Amino acid sequence: MFEGHKQTPVVQWARLPDGRECWSLGPMPEPRPLYRGAGLGDGPVLVVEGEKCADAGPANTVSWCGGGKAWAKTDWTPLVGKRVVLWPDNDAPGVETMAALAAHLAGLGCDVRIIPASGPEYADGWDIADAVAD
């Protein structure tokens, strides 16, 4: 069913065409909202990879839903014109994702910076949640 790909289904109460109601799995709607994007303040916004990392960050920390490749399915318009700091996970996919996101956000008029959280002093996959735990 999943063919080796990460799935992020939404569980929802649905009414079927025949009138029956049941729980149903479905795809997340697009564009997807920012995780922790409601009520962003005026200060800089920190963008991290994943809900666990967003929850570990300070106020104004957001992420997208659905894994690294799903950033492009997200509504980034709440960040238009804001100062944005991107904190990638310490791995090649994280660095690639944040580079692509940086270009996208720059196109929305954001002032974008990337934290270079990579190098031999960090474990593979090291992220903000690890930094907070250290």
Residue 103's H or E segment, with its range, is helix 92-107
Residue 39's CB is within 10 A of a number of other CB atoms, namely: 7
pLDDT-derived band at 119, boundaries 50, 70, 90: low
Structure confidence by residue, pLDDT tens digits, 57-115 = 999 999 998 888 899 999 999 999 999 999 999 999 999 999 999 999 999 999 999 99
Judge contact between 75 and 31, C-beta under 8 A: yes
Say how far apart CA 131 and CA 45 lie, in whole Å. 18
Q: Is the pTM of this model over 0.85?
A: no
Residue with tokens 């997807």: 32
Say how far apart CA 101 and CA 95 lie, in whole Å. 10
Structure confidence by residue, pLDDT tens digits, 47-59 = 999 999 999 999 9
Longest dimension (CA), the chain: 59
Say how far apart CA 31 and CA 33 lie, in whole Å. 7
pLDDT surpasses 80 at 31: yes
- Both tokens of 66, joined, read 């659905």
Which pLDDT score, from 0 to 100, does residue 8 have?
Answer: 64
Which pLDDT score, from 0 to 100, does residue 68 have?
Answer: 85
Task: Provide the residue count of the chain.
Answer: 134
